[in-house]
Amino acid sequence: MATLRVPDDVPTPRVDCERLRRAFQVHTIPASAACLDVVLSCSCILGSWVGFGTDENAIIKVLGRRNASQRKKIRETYQQLYNKSLIEDLQSELSGDFRNAVISWTYDPSERDARLANGVLKSRGKGVKELQILVEIACASSPHHLMAVRQAYASLFDHSLEEDITLNVPMPLQKILVNLVRSYRYDKELVDSDVANSEAARLYEVIKTKKLDEDDFILILSTRNVFQLKETFRFYEKNYGNPIDEVEDNRQLFVCPDTFLFLLSK
């Protein structure tokens, strides 16, 4: 997720917290004159209207225009000032997709991804499409971020991410996902062409024999970084005539073709 735009002059976390607090305490005025008379004549009733509306634009201006470290300071300062969790107040004051988006954005990035992963693994209707979130987290993250996600997951849910994948995902996709999330990919733009050529041949054999749970296949896809994989795929196309992700005529070869293609695209 990308920050909308961080302003040049960022207010202090305290000022941001005060703005959020005011955004939660918008007064809404009843439509009818009769109700208005009652409200204006009774302060206790007026007090009950506080929080009945929320200034969503003000929330976006604060949380949507701060980076991860700034949002973390806002969460900590909010707790100190009001002895309340910012996440819990967002949960109670907002609703629908807007609430989900704001809360996800407000979490620390590693906690956000850990919660996304857990939500997918624990959902009843999860399928290959939904499990692609795990591939995204594993393959599009830096090695350090992926490690932070695993640590956050264990802290939040008292299980490791690998354990929950094993419990909730069938083979052979289970084996692929476990190896993806536990790997530590080298993230420099260095490639070994000899290794790429050799591994292209191995991938060709695996695809031809339909053995997607082969250890060599999983090792290549789960440990090589995107630069090395692209070099391998370049050799695959050069040596065997077709890009590796062109499986339209051979989708029956794959137990999980959509996730396979998604993984290759990373």
- Residue ending a domain, among 83, 106, 129, is 106
Alpha-carbon distance 236 to 193, whole Å? 12
Residues 258 and 206 in one domain: yes
Residues 126 and 78 in one domain: no
Which pLDDT score is estimated for 49?
34
Residues 147 and 95 in one domain: no
> Dihedral of CA 101/106/110/112: which sign?
negative
Q: Does 8 map to a domain?
A: no
Q: Does 52 map to a domain?
A: yes
CA distances from 162 to 21, 92, 125 (A): 39, 32, 20
If we measure between CA atoms, which residue out of 132, 129, 149 comes closest to residue 263? Answer: 132
Which has more confidence, 88 or 3? 88
In this predicted model, what pLDDT tens digit does every residue of 13-62 receive, in sequence order?
Answer: 999 999 999 998 864 445 454 444 444 443 333 333 344 568 899 999 99
Residues 176 and 208 in one domain: no
CB 248 within 8 Å of CB 240: no
Which pLDDT score is estimated for 5?
67
Residues 46 and 121 in one domain: no
Residues 39 and 123 in one domain: no
Q: Does 80 map to a domain?
A: yes
Q: Does 5 map to a domain?
A: no
CB atoms within 10 A of CB 237: 14
Q: Determine the structural domain holding residue 67 and report its residue range.
A: 13-106
Banded pLDDT at 170 (limits 50, 70, 90) = confident
Percentage, residues of the chain above pLDDT 90? 44
Residues 33 and 102 in one domain: yes
User: What does DSSP assign to residue 251?
Assistant: G
Residues 22 and 52 in one domain: yes
Q: Does 102 map to a domain?
A: yes
**Which domain CATH number covers 202?**
1.10.220.10
- pLDDT of 131 > 70? The answer is yes
244 SS3 class: coil
Residues 176 and 213 in one domain: no
In this predicted model, what pLDDT tens digit does every residue of 191-243 receive, in sequence order?
Answer: 999 999 999 999 888 888 777 667 888 888 888 888 888 899 999 999 998 88
- Residue ending a domain, among 182, 210, 236, is 182
Give the pair of three-digit tokens for residue 238: 């050069």
Residues 73 and 96 in one domain: yes
Residues 140 and 74 in one domain: no
Q: Does 261 map to a domain?
A: yes
Alpha-carbon distance 22 to 17, whole Å? 9
CB atoms within 10 A of CB 218: 20
pTM for this entry: 0.72
Banded pLDDT at 103 (limits 50, 70, 90) = very high
Total structural domains in the chain? 3
Residues 38 and 79 in one domain: yes
If we measure between CA atoms, which residue out of 245, 257, 251, 114 comes closest to residue 173? Answer: 257
Q: Does 149 map to a domain?
A: yes
- Residue ending a domain, among 182, 211, 246, is 182
Alpha-carbon distance 73 to 107, whole Å? 11
Cα atoms in the Cβ-side hemisphere of radius 13 Å centred on 175: 13
CB atoms within 10 A of CB 166: 15
According to DSSP, the residues that pair with 26 across neighbouring strands are: 53
Q: Does 202 map to a domain?
A: yes
